[in-house]
Amino acid sequence: MIIVMQLEATQAQIDAVAGAIREVGLDPLILPGEDRVAIGIPAAIKPDQRERLDSMLGSLEGINKISQTSRPYKLASIEFKRQRTQFEIKGVGFGPDQFTMIAGPCSIESYDQLDEAAHLVQSAGGKVLRGGAFKPRTSPYAFQGLQEEGLKLMKQVGDARGLVTITEVMSGDLVPMVAEYTDILQIGARSMQNFPLLVAAGRSGKPVFLKRGPGATVDEFLLAAEYVLNQGGSQVILCERGILPLDRSYTRNTFDLAVVPVLKEYSHLPVFADPSHGTGVAKYVPPMAKAALVAGADGLMVEVHPNPREALSDGSQALTPDQFTALMADLGKLAQAVGVKLA
């Protein structure tokens, strides 16, 4: 942290800032500049110190600007774990040098619908099946999912076909139930800062697929991962899925694909992208899925439905079987061109 004083800051004001820094147990470093004074703190600041300090500085006079000079996350940072996180679930790899496809319907609707989707995913070479049992819906009048019944279908289909499964969990008290039926816990975009849920997921020992909140900065996103890691979870996958749209009339969100290389620069965790929610429109999913692969994502989550026309939710963003098969073929070519293994 560096505190830059106003041009005409008095000695008493400078002393007050220095005093506040000392009060939280840190050493201020006075930096007299040409026209004004800055005060730096050369040591690492612990979170509780920073919080106390923020409060104190908020009530002091003579300050022009406060800059945070450190990144707030630690366990999620590549500085603290130089080796990229890589792990396998039932033989399916997540992490560098491979490109892992997660696909399936938005909502689990029936055994047949889910199994048909699973068949489709598997035929095209995919190994991870997604499907929602508990659905976070903006409107209370929208289909809320099959709930525990859906989880059971997911387990049945996953077991029968030997697919890894992933489904969303919406609150901390449901973590044990969801963890029983599925391989990976998904935390949805609107739950990214549901802190009790993050803690429960971290404690579960299960792999966690964490979607970025639509308004989340990179620091907020990595701090959400930090909540999980801090509870002992180590298999966390980050997923970009679209941020608040500038323009709602052509796509549902703004797909922030450049966050993929950013996250890979600052974190060791695998980074996925979800172009289905990222754009919200089926016809934009293939170009953005391919773009994600060449931009360096470690995998994708896409929605595919045996019959999008009949989907109970989000049918307008789900790929048809044909579109999905064509996309997998295109991804295969690109994976080869850039030298990653498509799974």
Of residues 137-156, those binding a copy of itself (CB under 8 A): 137-143
What Å distances lie between residue 24 and 12, 31, 57, 133, CA to CA?
19, 20, 12, 48
Give the full edge-to-edge strand order of the sheet including 37-40: 29-32, 37-40, 2-5, 63-67
Whether 39 contacts 27, CB under 8 Å: no
- Per the CB < 8 A criterion, the answer to whether 319 and 303 are in contact is yes
Residues 45-104 that bind a copy of itself (CB under 8 A): 46-48, 51-52, 54-59, 64-65, 67-73, 79-80, 82
Question: Smallest gap, in angstroms, from Cβ of residue 160 to a copy of itself?
Answer: 27
Selected binder of a copy of itself within 176, 196, 205, 232 (CB under 8 A): 196
Q: Which two tokens stand for residue 133?
A: 């049992």
The verdict on 12 binding a copy of itself (CB under 8 A) reads no
Applying CB under 8 A, which part among 109-117, 121-129, 152-160, 278-286 lies near a copy of itself?
278-286
In whole angstroms, the minimum distance from the beta carbon of 219 to a copy of itself comes to: 7
Between 185 and 312, name the residue whose CB sits nearer to a copy of itself: 312
Residue 173 Cα distances to 163, 198, 277, 323, angstroms:
26, 11, 26, 38
Nearer to a copy of itself, 12 or 247 (CB): 247
Give the CA count within 13 Å in the CB-facing half-sphere of 192: 24
Q: Does 204 bind a copy of itself (CB under 8 A)?
A: no
Footprint of a copy of itself on residues 211-250 (CB under 8 A)?
213-215, 217-220, 223, 226-227, 230, 243-244, 246-250
Quick one: CA dihedral 227, 263, 100, 95, positive or negative?
Answer: negative
- # residues contacting a copy of itself (CB under 8 A): 125
Q: CB of residue 150 vs a copy of itself: minimum separation in angstroms?
A: 15
